[in-house]
């Protein structure tokens, strides 16, 4: 017997002829002499040769596929191989190339597809040229400086991370420079001493090599334990959760421009404070932004328009907002742009699921508005591997408050809603939405304009009585310091003011928006 295998086979077959082993052995010395093994081996060799020929046609040593395993050398390269890399990043050169060249080729392909793996881009590509090396990415920069300023109480670091002339704009205030930022941060910490700032999301738009735009959604659990914007210190700490959007333009390791909106109305509601009373308190404490004209508020909220990413992906968002805010249309017109399982978080400490409750939120806040003018001031569409499409949008809406609503009387004055929204999409529809505008700002605008409106009506009635010579009621005189004493003799003491504007009825219950336009303009400057 030539081998133990033949001896075993002879014993098992009872001296019957061999059938041949169809399995190709690793050691050829153990293979049978049958034709089946030779046919299989021949077929495998032919297939390997064909694969090699196909790869050779791609260029390089056995083509790009084999280049990932073996470095090509000039001696056995395909003569017609060109220098560089193909569309799939496979080397077709007769040289190995260097890592920097391959990385740049991969980056160009990713930028062309507008899909980014986080942590895979160069600092310049992320808009971080000129930033400190301690920050690895724009997201790291925003989250880290927020943590160090607020939670580590590094308020003096604001001087390092905010430019000397940085404007900070909110729906109810504006400031320029570092000192107001420091004092405002300290005031908030005095009122909410254990405030934590948790990053729900940071959506980044790369402006240029040294500038990026950040839209930061911040969730802040805290307790009101001190005196401040929301009144005196409570007897025992009161828990709240704040939702804030901070849109920052960052350059040279500093924030150079910031737009900030916080759900202040939601904070008041959690503390058991009536939002209208909170707005009145802010006005009584000196806030005058409610007296600004709606157009001036929008102008302050606008800035340079910025768009980043594949805007076509945001089409359902833009269409939905044009219908909801731009046309003030109801659920039937915009629900096609939302996933049926939509999760919606809105100002006023609102959270709901599905179309119906979201439509109720719209109806409560947009009731009474007419002649809307909706604008988008920035749009970032972010595609990141492993995450849904995310979109950040800063926007404004001006409209005439013609009828009574949750915010106040219908006085025909034009008001402004200034907001920021974040979205997540699924299969081209909105699945998650966060929509915040400062509702206290709208309360304040209407309170100031109502006061002006009632004062104007009172003045018009006074003028009318003066023209016809009737005695003046004591209530009117008490509210008009220009009238010295009651009685008919006042007509000879006080000069008669000019007649009221044409078309303004002093006895009407409500007036049109155009009639109050001159008053709004006179109060348009802080």
Q: Is residue 79's pLDDT more than 80?
A: no
Region 125-144: what's the mean pLDDT? Answer: 89
Q: Is residue 33's pLDDT more than 70?
A: no
Neighbouring residues of 436: CB distance < 8 A, sequence distance ≥ 6: 243, 244, 245, 261, 262, 263, 346, 347, 419, 420, 421
Residues of the chain with pLDDT > 70, as a percent, come to 66
Strand partners of residue 216:
202, 246
CA dist., res. 173 & res. 188, Å (int): 15
Region 200-221: what's the mean pLDDT? Answer: 93
Q: Specify burial of residue 357 (Cβ count, 10 A radius: 0-12, 13-18, 19+).
A: middle
Q: For 282-319, give the DSSP string.
A: HHHTT--GGGS-HHHHHHHHH-S-EEES-GGGGHHHHH
A 10 A CB-CB count for 377 gives 19
Which single residue is written with the structure tokens 């591997």?
A: 385
Residues of the chain with pLDDT > 90, as a percent, come to 54
Of 23-27, 96-100, 355-359, 407-411, which gets the smallest average pLDDT?
A: 23-27
pLDDT at 490: 31
User: pLDDT tens, 326-382?
Assistant: 999 999 999 999 999 999 999 999 999 999 999 999 999 998 999 999 999 999 999
Region 125-134: what's the mean pLDDT? Answer: 85
Query: Which residue did the predictor score with more confidence, 54 or 10?
Result: 54
Region 498-514: what's the mean pLDDT? Answer: 34
| Confidence band, pLDDT 50/70/90 cuts, at residue 510 | very low
Q: Which fold has domain 121-262?
A: Nuclear Transport Factor 2; Chain: A, (3.10.450)
| Confidence band, pLDDT 50/70/90 cuts, at residue 206 | confident
- Going from N- to C-terminal start, the domains of the chain cover 22-97, 121-262, 456-522
Terminal C-alpha separation, the chain? 110
| Confidence band, pLDDT 50/70/90 cuts, at residue 466 | low
């Amino acid at each position: 017997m030539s081998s133990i295998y033949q001896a075993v086979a002879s014993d098992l077959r009872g001296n019957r002829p061999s059938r041949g082993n169809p399995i190709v052995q690793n050691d050829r010395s153990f293979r049978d002499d049958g034709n089946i093994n030779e046919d299989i081996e021949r077929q495998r060799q032919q297939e390997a040769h064909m694969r090699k020929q196909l790869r050779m046609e791609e260029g390089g040593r056995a083509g790009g596929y084999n280049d990932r395993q073996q470095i090509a050398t000039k001696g056995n390269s395909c003569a017609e191989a060109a220098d560089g890399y193909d569309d799939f990043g496979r080397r077709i050169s007769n040289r190995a190339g260097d890592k920097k060249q391959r990385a740049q080729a991969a980056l160009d392909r990713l930028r062309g597809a507008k899909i980014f793996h986080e942590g895979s881009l160069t600092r310049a590509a992320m808009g971080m040229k000129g930033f400190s090396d301690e920050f690895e990415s724009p997201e790291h920069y925003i989250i880290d400086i927020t943590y160090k300023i607020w939670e580590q109480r590094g308020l003096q670091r604001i001087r390092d991370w905010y430019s000397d002339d940085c404007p900070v704009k909110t729906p109810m205030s504006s400031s320029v420079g570092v000192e107001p930022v420091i004092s405002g941060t300290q005031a908030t910490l005095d009122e909410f001493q254990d405030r934590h700032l948790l990053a729900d999301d940071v959506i980044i738009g790369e402006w240029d090599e040294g500038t990026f735009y950040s839209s930061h959604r911040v969730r802040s659990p805290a307790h009101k334990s001190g005196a401040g914007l929301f009144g005196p210190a409570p007897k025992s700490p009161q828990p709240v959760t704040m939702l804030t959007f901070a849109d920052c333009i960052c350059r040279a390791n500093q924030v150079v421009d910031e737009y900030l909106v916080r759900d202040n109305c939601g904070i008041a509601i959690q503390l058991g404070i009536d939002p209208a009373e909170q707005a009145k308190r802010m006005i009584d404490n000196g806030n005058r932004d409610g007296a600004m004209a709606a157009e001036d508020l929008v102008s302050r909220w606008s800035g340079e328009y910025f768009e980043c990413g594949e805007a076509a992906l945001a089409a359902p968002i833009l269409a939905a907002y044009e219908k909801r805010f731009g046309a003030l249309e109801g659920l039937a017109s915009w629900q096609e742009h939302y996933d049926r399982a939509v999760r919606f978080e809105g100002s006023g400490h609102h959270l709901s699921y599905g179309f119906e409750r979201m439509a109720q939120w719209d109806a409560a806040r947009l009731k009474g508005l007419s002649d809307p003018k909706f604008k988008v001031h920035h749009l970032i569409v972010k595609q990141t591997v492993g995450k849904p499409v995310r979109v950040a949008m800063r926007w404004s809406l001006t409209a005439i408050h013609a009828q009574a609503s949750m915010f106040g009387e219908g006085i025909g004055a034009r008001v402004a809603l200034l907001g920021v929204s974040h979205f997540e999409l699924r299969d081209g529809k909105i699945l998650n939405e966060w929509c915040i505008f400062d509702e206290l700002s709208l309360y304040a605008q209407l309170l100031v304009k109502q006061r002006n409106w009632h004062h104007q009506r009172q003045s018009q009635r006074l003028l009318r009585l003066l023209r016809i010579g009737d005695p003046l009621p004591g209530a009117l005189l008490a509210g008009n310091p220009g009238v010295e004493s009651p009685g008919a003799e006042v007509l000879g003491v006080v000069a008669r003011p000019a007649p009221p504007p044409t078309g303004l009825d002093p006895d009407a219950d409500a007036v049109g928006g155009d009639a109050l336009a001159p008053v709004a303009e006179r109060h348009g400057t802080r």
